[in-house]
Structure 1
Amino acid sequence: MGHRSHSPLPLGPRSAVSRSAFLRAGASLTVPAVAGPAVLGASSAQASPAPRGPATSVPTAPGRGGDDDPLEDGLVHGSSLFPGNDGQAHEVTWDARSFRIDGERLHLYAGEIHPWRVPAPAQWRELLQLMRAAGFNAVSFYFFWGLHQSESGGPFDFTGIKDVDLLLRIAEQEGLFVIARPGPYVNAEISMGGLPAYMTNRAASLRSTDPQNLADSKDWLSAIGEIIARHQITDGGGSVLMWQIENELIDDDAPRKEFVRALAQHVRGIGIDVPLFHNDYGLGGRFRDSADLDLDFYAYDHYPLGFDAGGPRRQIGEAEDQFREYAPESPHFITESQGGAFTPWGAPFDAAQAFEFTDPAFTRQWGVRNLGNGVTAFNYYMAFGGTNWGFTGSPSSGFTSYDYGAAITEDRLLTGKLAVQKELAALQEALPQITSMAPGAAPVVRDLDGAEVTAYARIATDSEPSASDGGAPRLLGFRLADSNDETDTRFAVRLVLGASDEEGDDGTGGAGQPDADDADPAITYEGSWTAQDDAAAFGGPCIAPRRRGRARAGRSPAPAST
C-alpha cells in the first residue's frame, strides 16, 4: 500500500474556488467528523442515523417573529434535521473515546468563527453554510464581553452585529452544533482579551475572586447565559452542545481554581445544563481535576508549529499518552487546534505567509496525527479569521486584518486548505467507528523508499461488525516522521484483517498467512470464480466475486504486503 493523497477540488494553496462549486461538492455530506487522506479504514457498518430523544417542544421553525424577523433574510437556508434543531431534548454524555448524544457516538469536528469579525450579520449564514459544506458538524464561538457592555452595571447590547440570539438560530438552521465560549476572558487577540474597557484601571486582578471584578464577570455571564440557555441541546431549545469557562489561565494555583469554580457554579445556577469545561493552554495539565472545579471534563489547545510564520516550523509530536495521564476517562478534545497563525503588529510576515506556514500539506499531516492519537473532538482555530473593526483588536498582537492564514480568507475566499479539511471530514463520515477506537499495534512499514514513516493503528471497541471473521473495524494512518519533510515516499505494510493463531516474526500477527502481495507472480490460484453474497461489505450487502479453491505461493524474492 503506497502513501497517496489528493484534493477533491482543483485548488492551489491560496487560490479560490466558486462558492457554488464548493457547496455542490458538499451537498452529499451528512453530519460528519474528522479523518485523514493518508488513512485506511476497514468496516462493514454504515454511519449511524442522528440520535433522537423524546419530543419536548416544537421543532425550530425557519423564523420566530413574522416578516420582520431577521432570520427571514430571503437567503437560502439549510435543511438539515439534526439533534440541534429537531425540538427534542437530548442527553449529552461521554466516555474515554468520544462524546455521545442520546447514546450515539459523535465525532465533534468544529471550526472557530468570531461573529464580530465580519462586516454584518448577513455574512454569518454564508460562513456557516461554507463550513457545513466543508463537512464540519460544529462551530465554536468566542463571545466578546467588552463589545456588549461599556460601563459597570450598565446595560448589555445584543443588537446588530452583537445579536447572539440570531447567530445561534442561524447555526441551528444550518445544522451545526455550537461550542459556546463566553469567557469572561477569551484572549482571541482582541482588546483586553474580551474584558470591558471600564476595567482597565482597577488595581485588583481582573480574573480573580476580587468582589467587584467577580460581580461584573457574573453579570456578564448572566446576560449572555440568558440567551444561550434558550438554545441548549439538552432541553430541545437549540444546538449549543457545551460551554467553556474562562480561557487559558496560565496557573492553577488555589486563587485561580477558586475563580474557575465560582464561575462554573454561577453558570450552573443560571440554567445552563450542557457540559462545562476549561481550555488548558498547551496540554499543561492545569485544571485537570474537573470534579473539584465543578467542571465536567479536561480539554486543551495545541498549536504544534508555534506562531513565527516567518521562521522554521516546529515538529508535530504525539500527545495521547500525556493526555491520558490528565484525563483517562474523557474524550481526547483539542479545544483549539492550529488552523493558521496571527500576525502581530510589526511582525516580519503577513497573512499569506501565515497560510503557507499552516498549508494543506501540514493540515493533512496534522489530521492524520490527531486520528492516530485518538482525538475525537477537535476545533480549528481559525476556520475564518476576518477583520478587527474599529479598536477591537489587541494592540500587542493584532491589527486591522485578522485573516490568520485560515482556510477561508478575510475576504471570504476558499482555499486548498479548506478542501483538505473537507477530505478529513469525508473520511470520518465514511468510518464513524473511529469514535470508539483504542490504540493498537502499529503496522511495520516495509519496502520503504523515501523518508521515515510514522504509522498508527486503532481498533474499534464497540463490537461493531467487521469485514473479517473475528476482527473489528480499524484505522491505519501514516505520515512522515519528520512533519516538515517533503520527500516523495513509498512503502508497504502487511494487512491481517482476521484473528491469527500465531504471532508473526515481525510482531504484527498472521504467521502462516501468505507473505506476498497478491499481485506477485509467485501467487497462483486453483479453482474457479463464484459469486457470493457478502453481507459484511461496507455499505451493505453486495455480490462480490470470490475465488473458490486455494492459493499457492511460490518463493517470493522479497516480502510485500497482503
Structure 2
Amino acid sequence: MPELTITDTDFRIGDEPLQIISGSLHYFRIHPGQWADRLRKARLMGLNTVDVYVPWNLHQPHRGSPLTMEEGLDLPRFLDLAAAEGLYVLLRPGPFICAEWEAGGLPAWLLTEPDIRLRTSDPRYLEPVERYFEQLLPLMRPHLATQGGPVIAVQVENEYGASGLRDTAYLECLVAALRAGGVDVPLFTSDQAGDLADGGLPDILRTVNFSGNAMKNLATLREHQPAGPLMCAEFWSGWFDRWGGGHETRSAAAKAESLDEMLSSGASVNIYMVHGGTNFGFTNGANDKGRYRPTVTSYDYDSPLDEAGDPTEKYWLFRDTIAKYAPLAAEPVPAAGPKLALEGIRLTEHASLLAQASRLGAPRRATTPPTMEELGQNFGFVLYETVLPSAGAGMLRTAGVHDRAQVFVDGQPIGTLERESEETALSLRSPAPNARLSILVENQGRVNYGPRLRDWKGIAGPVTFKGDTLTGWTVTPLPLTALDGLSYEGQDIEPGPAFHRGTFDVPQVADSFLHLPGWSKGNAWINGFALGRYWSRGPQRSLYMPGPVLREGANEIVLLELHGVGDPVAHLRQTADLGFPE
C-alpha cells in the first residue's frame, strides 16, 4: 500500500489527499474465526481505515517469554486480513492501551517489582518495555506501509496526558525505541482536549479524543497544534458498562450529527468503537476513581456493529453520513447472521472447587499470604487455606482483599469481603481448634486507567483472627486456563463454589447468547472456550457465544458457580440481554 505523509494541512497518500475515516476493532476481543467478517462490515460502512490496540499482557504473559501470536493473538494474520479488505491500519502498540482492558494491557508480572513506577522512564519499567518492542516490531515491520503493508501510522503510548506523570523523557524513549525497531511511518499521540498540553511531543502529530462538542474540541487541538491535519483519534460511539450499573447507550442520531460535523470540516476521525466485541475469559479491566468498579464481560459499547457483529441503527446512520463525503462499496452489507436457540440445557454433573482445587493448581506453602503476582499468576482465583488456632467467635481481619473474597470454615460459607464495598473484616465462629479456614479470592479485573495501575490481586499483608496473626498457609493458584483435571464423579450439588457440567446437541453452528436465570456469579466455558464472567448483579444478563466455538453434534458447557444454584439449567437464546439503560 502507498505511504502516508503529513503536510501542514492534511494527510496524503502518494499525491492524493486522504481524509482518514477509521473505526476501532480489537482482534483480541473477537473470535479469530470472525475477524474477516468484522473487517468487511467495517469497510462496507464506509471506513477506509481500522484502528487496533496491541495487548502486551496477552502477548507476553510471563517475564522474558517469547511473544505469543497464536490463534486469537495472531496479529500478523489480522493485519493481512485488513490489507485484503483494502483497509489502512492505525497501529497502537502501547505499551499502555487502557481500552477498559485488564491493567490497560500492562503485564501483571511488572508488579513483582517493588515500587515500580509504571508509564515512566523508571528503568525497572522501561527495560521490559524495550525488550517487548524488540520482539514485537520485527513482526510488524513487514506490515508497515513503507514495506507495502497496511499500517500507515503508529501511536506513541496512549492518552498519556491523563496520567498526571509528565515524564517527557519516557515518551521520547518510546519514540526512539519505535524508530530503532524500524517503524518508519508517521507517529502520533492521542489525548483528551484538556490533556493535550501534557501528552504530546514536538514534531509528533497530536490528535484529540472526545464524545461530543466536535468543533470545540478540534479548535482546542488547533491551539496546541497550529499546523497539520486535524483528527479525532477516538470519537466515542458509545460507552462501557460496569457491574452494578446500568447499560450505557448513546443517541445514534446525536452521534451521527457529530460525525457529520467532523467530516464536513475536513477533519479525520477514528470511531471508537466500530465494533466492541467481548472481554472473554478474565480480561475485563476496572476503574478506581476512589472506589473500585470492575467492567462487565460484554464490550458491546453501543457500537455500530453490536457484540455479535450485526449492524445496528447507528451503523446505518453512520454509513449514510460517511456516504456524503466518501464513496461506498457497491456490494450489499450482510444481514444479521442466524442465531441458535436452545432452552433447558441441564447441567447434571458437579465438582466442588474447594475439594478439587489441587487438581487445578499446584498448592504451595507460605508463612503469610502472597499476592497473585508473587505466585506468578495473571488471572483467575487464589485459594488461601490455614487453620484457626482456637474455637469460638471472633473477627477475621485482613489488610484488604483484591478483589472479592469468599470465606469458609470447614467448607461452610461464612461470608464475603468485597473491595468495591471496602470490606476488610467479618465475624465468624470457629467450631473447634484447628478448624479449616479457606479464603477464595477472585481477581475481578486490574485497574486500566488513572493513577492506581499498581493493582495487585489476592491478599496482601497479615490475616488475623481474634487479633492473632494466622500463619502456615497453603496457597493454591487457580488460573482456570484448563479444567481437564476436574472429576465429575459426584452427582450431588455440594455447598460452596462448584463446577457444573452438561452437554447439548447443535444441529447447525451459529452465534447465540447464554442466559443463566437463577445463577448468581461465576464463569462460563463452552467446549473449553472461556466466554467470561456472569453476575446476577447486572446490568449484563447474557453472555455472547461466538458460533465458531460450537461444533455440530455434542457440545460441552461448564459453569463455575461461586454461590449456588437451585436448578442447574442454562438457556441459549437468539438475543442479548445487556440490561436496562443507565
TM-score (norm 2): 0.53
1:369 matched to 2:266: no
The match for 1:235 among 136, 140, 147 is 147
CA distance in 2, matches of 1:339, 1:220: 31
Runs of 4+ residues deviating >6 angstroms? none
Deviation at 1:211, TM superposition (A): 1.1
1:380 matched to 2:271: yes
For residue 378 of structure 1, give the secondary structure of its aligned residue in structure 2: strand
Deviation at 1:199, TM superposition (A): 1.4
Matches within 5 A, 1:24-423: 84=1, 90-118=2-30, 120-202=31-113, 203-236=115-148, 238-250=149-161, 256-287=167-198, 290-291=201-202, 296-304=204-212, 318-347=216-245, 349-350=246-247, 354-355=248-249, 357=250, 359-375=251-267, 377-395=268-286, 396-423=293-320
CA distance in 2, matches of 1:139, 1:333: 14
CA distance in 2, matches of 1:343, 1:288: 26
Identity of aligned residues (%): 31
For residue 205 of structure 1, give the secondary structure of its aligned residue in structure 2: coil
Deviation at 1:430, TM superposition (A): 5.6
Q: What is the total number of aligned residue pairs between the two structures?
A: 321
Residue-by-residue CA offset, 1:80-116 (whole Å, 9 max, x unaligned): xxxx3xxxxx342122432001121001000001111
Structure 2 residue aligned with 1:14: none
CA distance in 1, matches of 2:98, 2:295: 11
Distance 1:386 1:430, change over 3 A: closer
Conservation of the 8 A alpha-carbon contact between 2:188 and 2:204: yes
Unaligned residue ranges in structure 2 (runs of 5+): 287-292, 329-582
Residue-by-residue CA offset, 1:140-181 (whole Å, 9 max, x unaligned): 001100011122212211110010110100000011000000
Distance 1:281 1:221, change over 3 A: farther
Residue-by-residue CA offset, 1:446-492 (whole Å, 9 max, x unaligned): xxxxxxxxxxxxxxxxxxxxxxxxxxxxxxxxxxxxxxxxxxxxxxx
Greater displacement, 163-172 / 200-209? 200-209
RMSD: 2.0
CA distance in 2, matches of 1:188, 1:282: 18
CA distance in 2, matches of 1:401, 1:243: 27
Unaligned residue ranges in structure 1 (runs of 5+): 1-83, 85-89, 305-314, 432-562
Distance 1:184 1:288, change over 3 A: closer
For residue 280 of structure 2, give the secondary structure of its aligned residue in structure 1: coil
CA distance in 2, matches of 1:320, 1:340: 19
Distance 1:400 1:252, change over 3 A: closer
Structure 2 residue aligned with 1:453: none
Conservation of the 8 A alpha-carbon contact between 2:27 and 2:52: yes
Deviation at 1:139, TM superposition (A): 0.3
Structure 1 residue aligned with 2:369: none
Of structures 1 and 2, the one with the larger relative CO (CA 8 A, separation 6+) is 1
Deviation at 1:411, TM superposition (A): 1.4
Conservation of the 8 A alpha-carbon contact between 1:320 and 1:373: no
Residue-by-residue CA offset, 1:183-232 (whole Å, 9 max, x unaligned): 00000001100001111243121111111210111122222211211111
Residue-by-residue CA offset, 1:504-552 (whole Å, 9 max, x unaligned): xxxxxxxxxxxxxxxxxxxxxxxxxxxxxxxxxxxxxxxxxxxxxxxxx
Conservation of the 8 A alpha-carbon contact between 2:156 and 2:171: yes
Deviation at 1:286, TM superposition (A): 2.5
CA distance in 2, matches of 1:269, 1:175: 28
AA of the residue aligned to 1:385: G
Matches within 5 A, 1:499-510: none
AA of the residue aligned to 2:253: A
AA of the residue aligned to 2:273: M
Matches within 5 A, 1:487-506: none
AA of the residue aligned to 2:319: K
AA of the residue aligned to 1:279: S
CA distance in 1, matches of 2:194, 2:16: 28
For residue 232 of structure 2, give the secondary structure of its aligned residue in structure 1: strand
AA of the residue aligned to 1:360: A
Distance 1:289 1:162, change over 3 A: closer
Deviation at 1:128, TM superposition (A): 0.3
Distance 1:326 1:288, change over 3 A: farther
Conservation of the 8 A alpha-carbon contact between 1:96 and 1:332: no
Conservation of the 8 A alpha-carbon contact between 2:48 and 2:87: yes
Structure 1 residue aligned with 2:357: none
Distance 1:192 1:141, change over 3 A: same
CA distance in 1, matches of 2:265, 2:194: 14
Deviation at 1:296, TM superposition (A): 2.7
TM-score (norm 1): 0.55
CA distance in 1, matches of 2:162, 2:319: 36
Conservation of the 8 A alpha-carbon contact between 2:206 and 2:221: no
CA distance in 2, matches of 1:371, 1:346: 37
CA distance in 2, matches of 1:191, 1:254: 21
Structure 2 residue aligned with 1:492: none
Conservation of the 8 A alpha-carbon contact between 1:114 and 1:142: yes
Deviation at 1:368, TM superposition (A): 2.5
Structure 1 residue aligned with 2:412: none
For residue 382 of structure 1, give the secondary structure of its aligned residue in structure 2: strand
Conservation of the 8 A alpha-carbon contact between 1:222 and 1:267: no
CA distance in 2, matches of 1:240, 1:251: 26
CA distance in 1, matches of 2:112, 2:157: 21
Greater displacement, 108-117 / 274-283? 274-283
AA of the residue aligned to 1:330: G
